[in-house]
Amino acid sequence: MAAANISPEKVDLLIYGPVRPILENGFSDQFVLHMAESRADLERLTPDTIAKIRGMAVTYHMVPADAKALSQFPKLEMIASFGVGYDHVDSAYAREHNIVVTNTPDVLTEEVADVAMGLLISTVREFVKADRYLRSGLWQT
């Protein structure tokens, strides 16, 4: 098996939205990370930085990755949206400009089903009511 070709050129990546701890150390040294937690932070990026950004990691659905935001980055190749949906990413703009948009579909499907079943059982068996009764100490009388 041939070894993967790793480019000596580092890729400039914008983390757009609230920064999660795993992101600060989660990328290899193949990337130069830039942070923008809000639209106002995007506007503070230098023209030199904007010209180099090739990837964008959108960490939260409340930061709009709309045409106005995306059009600032002439070399943008990929947008990775954290979470299930990508409604906050202007996919039409991305498609027109050959920008790949990714997300993580079905990542929470099983967890949501587990919580739904837990809530259903808790409701039918009245676990919350029983817990309150137990904690109140009324069971002792």
Tell me the C-alpha distance between 42 and 52, whole Å: 14
Quick one: which of 122, 87, 92 has its CA closest to 103? 87
Q: Give the per-residue pLDDT at 61.
A: 78
Ranges of residues in the chain with a pLDDT under 50 are 1
Q: Give the per-residue pLDDT at 1.
A: 47
Q: What does the block give as tokens for 93?
A: 């703009």
Q: Give the per-residue pLDDT at 6.
A: 57
Q: Give the per-residue pLDDT at 69.
A: 93
Q: Give the per-residue pLDDT at 126.
A: 93
